Amino acid sequence: MEQILSTLDFETKGQGFTDITKDINDWIQYKKLKKGLLLIFLKHTSCSLLINENADINVLKDLSAYMKAIVPEEGIYPINRSREKIEYLHLEEGLDDMPAHIRTMLTSNNLTFSVVDSKLEIGLWQAIYIWEHRSSNKSRSLQLHAIGDFDLN
């Protein structure tokens, strides 16, 4: 059993989903991981890492709409009698930054997968996505940590 650490970099196109499934499977092939575990860690605080459906684009649209409804960019309205809007305090990096941090907190920045026969063990209708919560294009880095049996020949 061996271990490999590596970094993969991606460019996102503003708010939305970037399917990275093929990139991860290509990395597994390149590193010759036959079977084992793969931990993927997203090294940022304003985007998320998730696994979800890849067959119907409306699933991703609905997820995005729901997240924008529960974490609006223009501040929050608490459930209380005053109904006074609460403005975000953290504004140094733009109006979309604090909502992005909250959205990341509500989702995930890491995933762990089984690898069998040099492929991710995921469902037929599943894909791995970077979910960008910022409005502008961003450079994003993933740390990959594979533990398992490699073809070292």
- pLDDT for res 80: 62
* Residue-averaged pLDDT of the chain: 94
Residue type, 61: K
Structure tokens given for 148 = 């398992």
Q: What is the mean pLDDT of residues 116-126?
A: 97
For 1-12, how does the pLDDT look when each residue is reduced to its tens digit (9 = 90+)? 999 999 999 999
Q: What is the mean pLDDT of residues 24-48?
A: 98
Residue 127 pLDDT > 80, yes or no? yes
- pLDDT for res 131: 99
**CA–CA distance, 32 with 35 (Å, rounded to integer):** 9
Residue 37 pLDDT > 90, yes or no? yes
- pLDDT for res 6: 98
Torsion (CA) 142, 104, 15, 5 in degrees, nearest 10: 0
**Residue 88 confidence class, pLDDT cut points 50, 70, 90:** confident
Q: What is the mean pLDDT of residues 61-66?
A: 97
- pLDDT for res 74: 81
Q: What is the mean pLDDT of residues 33-54?
A: 98
Q: Which domain holds residue 85?
A: 2-150
pTM metric for this prediction: 0.92
* 62-71, 87-96, 141-150: range with highest mean pLDDT: 141-150
- HEC profile of 19-88: ECHHHHHHHHHHHCEEEEEEEEEECCCCEEEEEEECCCHHHHHHHHHHHHHHCCCCCECCCCCCCCCECC
Q: Which residues pair with 7 in a beta bridge?
A: 143
CATH of the domain at 89: 2.60.120.460
Choose among 135, 140, 139, 136: nearest CA to 109: 140
Number of domains observed in the structure of the chain: 1
Give per-residue burial for 139-153: e unless 16+ CB within 10 Å, then b. ebebebebebebeee
